[in-house]
Homo-oligomer: A and B are copies of this chain.
């Protein structure tokens, strides 16, 4: 009989939390015991897991006793408060927040890209930011063949990146506008319905918002290459669930688009989607609910001899968050890296 594990989900009621629950079930993760943790507000509510109603517990010091794996998805503050407690009690924490991502003692992992980093963990493993995960899946297989020197990204990020409440807000705003009323913005800073705006994460003193610097810094850490030059413009768009990215890549020498196509058609976690006859390429509605990041529209950059361009869409909640975390848990099991 193969081993099974005691798992806790911290932040079980959020958009990512409920997806984690669904994925642990559908992927048949070997679970001996599943604990759902959330804030006091949600305690006592139940969520269904494989036909069983599990009662959500309010998180406390004792929550992490007899737990092997914590899947944390309740924001940076909550992770900072509880991750060390969980590690002390013997659990390995897979953290979906940005709290530990750039900590040199914490591996930052996309299982298709740098699974080997898991072996160095000291109790916490960080799940990268959604836009980073999606981009690395498409760029890493090319980088293996010919090192990428520079990345210029522009994103088209859905409301789901700001959580379930933001998705609901966009729907309410949209209905209001269709009825001739003014949209009200409470979750996001500006109305997103029939509108868009540069990503609302805090701005830093280099003129980039935190979301953009995550793409820069996390990609370098995951690739183990501090020399890649990266810039990103991150934009929120009135899409509900999947993120899109326009990616411009520069190499030392030309990268044949057909070669790139062949590489990406066999890349793990990637699905090549391009029908040049029909002008059909990845779209958020096709990426929603899918495990793979959809990549296409691969072409020679006409402005740079060593440039290559591509377009991708990926489910931000799934591979951009929950699925990647569950894959990290599966990796820990497979490589016997749990305590």
Give the residues in chain B near A302, CB-CB below 8 Å: 206, 208, 216, 229-231
Could you say how many copies of this chain the assembly holds?
2
A240, B238: Cα distance in complex, Å: 11
| A314 to B: closest C-beta gap in Å | 14
Spell out A's residues near B (CB within 8 Å): 150-152, 154, 156, 171, 174-175, 178, 189-191, 194-198, 200, 202-203, 206-209, 216, 229-231, 233, 235, 237-240, 244, 246, 248, 257, 276, 279-281, 283-285, 297-304, 307, 309, 311
Give the residues in chain B near A244, CB-CB below 8 Å: 196, 235
Assess A233 versus B156: contact at CB under 8 Å? Given A150-B304, A198-B281, A281-B197.
Answer: no
| A273 to B: closest C-beta gap in Å | 11
Give the residues in chain B near A171, CB-CB below 8 Å: 178
| A310 to B: closest C-beta gap in Å | 9
A9, B326: Cα distance in complex, Å: 61
Give the residues in chain B near A239, CB-CB below 8 Å: 194-196, 238
Q: List 19 A-B contacts (CB under 8 A).
A: A152-B303, A154-B246, A190-B285, A191-B285, A194-B240, A195-B239, A195-B284, A196-B239, A196-B244, A200-B279, A203-B279, A207-B276, A207-B297, A207-B300, A208-B302, A229-B302, A233-B246, A233-B311, A235-B246
Give the residues in chain B near A248, CB-CB below 8 Å: 152, 231, 233
A225, B178: Cα distance in complex, Å: 45
**Are B237's CB and A238's CB within 8 A?**
yes
**Are A231's CB and B304's CB within 8 A?**
yes
Give the residues in chain B near A246, CB-CB below 8 Å: 154, 233, 235
Give the residues in chain B near A237, CB-CB below 8 Å: 156, 196, 237-238
A152, B233: Cα distance in complex, Å: 12
Give the residues in chain B near A280, CB-CB below 8 Å: 190
A29, B196: Cα distance in complex, Å: 34
Give the residues in chain B near A175, CB-CB below 8 Å: 178
**Are A231's CB and B301's CB within 8 A?**
yes
Partner of A231, one of B189, B276, B309: B309
Give the residues in chain B near A152, CB-CB below 8 Å: 152, 248, 303
**Are A257's CB and B300's CB within 8 A?**
no
Assess A233 versus B154: contact at CB under 8 Å? Given A197-B283, A206-B299.
Answer: yes
**Are B299's CB and A195's CB within 8 A?**
no
